[in-house]
Structure 1
Amino acid sequence: MNGENKNVVCFGEILWDMLPSGKKPGGAPMNVAYHLNRLGIQSTIISRIGDDEAGRELSSFLDNIGLSTENIQIDSDHETSKVIACIGADNEVLYEIIAPVAWDFIQYEERFATLLQAADVLVYGSLIARNEASRDTLLSLLGKARYRLFDVNLRAPHYTPAVVDQLMQAADAIKLNIHELVAVSGWLGNRSGDEYAGIGLLQDYYGIQEIIVTKGSQGASYYTPNSRHDYPAVSVDVKDTVGSGDSFLAAFLAQKLRGETSDNMLEFATTLGAYVTTQSGACPPYSRMDLNRFMWEKYLESIQWKQ
């Protein structure tokens, strides 16, 4: 496959990340759609914003970057989402996710089903399922998608094991970080916290064909029933880690849709995720030339280190 005419639908939250440096557009599904769009893959967002100034600003941002707002509902009763993000030790991001907000109330529309039937991939997360209204809409749409990629993205206290289990049951592929792997496999009995034992449990219990695990400074791994691929982390001076996992997922998926090898998928995803940590916010502007320059610089650094 090449990337031409490939289409991804991202379902879930869009919001303003209120960072110490100021507010930035965010929300994992929107971040994934943003980076897919940057990488030349057509992407669409299904979400909901408030009938307020914050919502109009988000809509204007999407228009300016070429992402359609056609499938973003307007809510006259609930505000556009804002998330208070604080940068903690080791550049860890801590979130205060306010509830309820507009994206908690995404309503089912028949046109969404039509949209999904024409799409190659549906990307969805667990945060959007915290409220029954949006959760019911998502569950109605999962059966209409051709390929379902679950970005686990656990944010306490906005999930329950039972809901995550529902979303895992529907997934063809999942992406999660190492801490989420330990948590989810622990619910299935993996008390050791061992990565490989956890992967085996998820594969056996859910029958998931593809599992992507991000591990911070330890890089990332990609598992299928018959293979495992690893890629080391890229060393950078971190500005913040907001949205780095989302950019990783978008880069991985873009390469997958273009028919790249597993190693190339991991390499490009790890590189883009690292690049985003050197910028402010989840959706920094960049071109493919910027990425190529970054990759070349990191390659030269690795050569110098080996010498």
Structure 2
Amino acid sequence: MNNEKLTLKGVCFGEILWDNLPTGRKLGGAPLNVAYHLNKLGIYTDMLTRIGEDQDGDDLVALCRELAVPVRLFQRDQQFPTSTVEVHFNEKGEVSYDIVFPVAWDYIALGEKEREAVRNADFFVFGSLSTRNDESYNTLQSLLKEATYRVLDVNLRAPFYSKERIFELLGYADLVKMNEEELAYIASWMGLPANQSDLQKTEQLMEGFRIEELIVTYGAAGATFHSHSGKFSYRFPAFKVDVKDTVGSGDSFLAAFLSQRCRQDPSASTEEMLEFAATLSAFVTESTGACPDYDANSIHRLQWKHFLNRGEVNLR
């Protein structure tokens, strides 16, 4: 995307798949989407996953190479197929998924190559969906002990989650990203009153699981960032865009925010990080599929387009 040379490295763990959209087959999987955008943003990020020994798997490898997503941690499975997902949209453009089980990424194996990659990474991104099968979950638990900075993307896809497993994952995380509905689910599991504000819920969630940073996305209403040690919360509104589909918009938001957060630029404010994340998310929402092509000029044009309409709300 640009000529900036970065020494940062990351690993994303979990599902990679073909999203069967009304417009055709698209590359997908939340951790893959995050890895794609991080690599586009100049941060070398491996994708640790498992695919079948089949044509769908061969096609995924070829496309990821074309998109400059590293494939050195792609495992091949002779028994289980490459994952495919049927994607459905309602009249509001909201998405639902029919996710096949079991598939190859339910059986991600652990070896020294995987341990070394995570051990040497600056951050490790993992999602809750990839833990639906014990074999991949056991691998993830071992890798979490090797990671230095752990980023959980809560991704509740019925029926592939449980309160107990989500609570376990929250206990590992340094940074968590979830959406408004997922916050409500977790708050109810914690026994928090339904009439509490989201700010009150996030404070108790972060305190209960010792989470340092939390992002809650609200779709067209923007996102909030909460810092436990900094003792502040910040809301940034979403940009108004012509929605084509919302597939991968939250993944791009996380990737863009993480790309700024991990640079640890002392001159970068929370507002600037969230603005950049909102910009990339808006671009993806205006595009088809989770991994559209773009360059620096595309994002900069969109930032200027919305500059005069940007705003901020301090929650505290």
Q: TM bucket by the smaller chain?
A: over 0.9
1:51 corresponds to: 53
SS of residue paired to 2:102? coil
Quote the RMSD (CA, aligned, Å). Answer: 1.3
SS of residue paired to 2:97? strand
Q: Which moved more, 1:238-247 or 1:260-269?
A: 260-269
CA distance in structure 2 between the partners assigned to 1:40 and 1:16 by the alignment: 25
2:211 corresponds to: 208
How many residue pairs get matched? 301
SS of residue paired to 1:61? helix
Shift of the alpha carbon at 1:70?
Answer: 1.0
CA distance in structure 1 between the partners assigned to 2:176 and 2:278 by the alignment: 16
1:163 corresponds to: 165
1:262 corresponds to: 270
> Please, which of 221, 231, 238 is the counterpart of residue 224 of structure 2?
221
Q: Does 1:251 align with 2:256?
A: yes
Q: Does 1:272 align with 2:280?
A: yes
Q: Which moved more, 1:228-237 or 1:253-262?
A: 253-262
Is the Cα–Cα contact under 8 Å of residues 190 and 197 in structure 1 kept in the other structure?
Answer: no
TM-score (norm 1): 0.96
CA distance in structure 1 between the partners assigned to 2:280 and 2:45 by the alignment: 18
1:287 corresponds to: 295
2:304 corresponds to: 296
Q: Does 1:114 align with 2:116?
A: yes
CA distance in structure 2 between the partners assigned to 1:296 and 1:161 by the alignment: 42
CA distance in structure 2 between the partners assigned to 1:153 and 1:283 by the alignment: 18
CA distance in structure 1 between the partners assigned to 2:52 and 2:103 by the alignment: 8
Amino acid at match of 1:200: E
Q: Does 1:196 align with 2:199?
A: yes
TM-score (norm 2): 0.93
* Runs of 4+ deviating beyond 4 Å: none
2:77 corresponds to: 75
- The C-alpha deviation readout for 1:76-118, integer Å capped at 9, x for no partner, is 0011000000111321011000100000000111111111111
Amino acid at match of 1:166: E
Larger proportion of helix: 1
Shift of the alpha carbon at 1:299?
Answer: 2.5
Structure 1, unmatched stretches of 5+, are: none
Is the Cα–Cα contact under 8 Å of residues 3 and 254 in structure 1 kept in the other structure?
Answer: no
CA distance in structure 1 between the partners assigned to 2:160 and 2:94 by the alignment: 19
Q: How many percent of aligned residue pairs carry the same amino acid?
A: 44
The 5 Å alignment of 1:18-37 reads 18-37=20-39
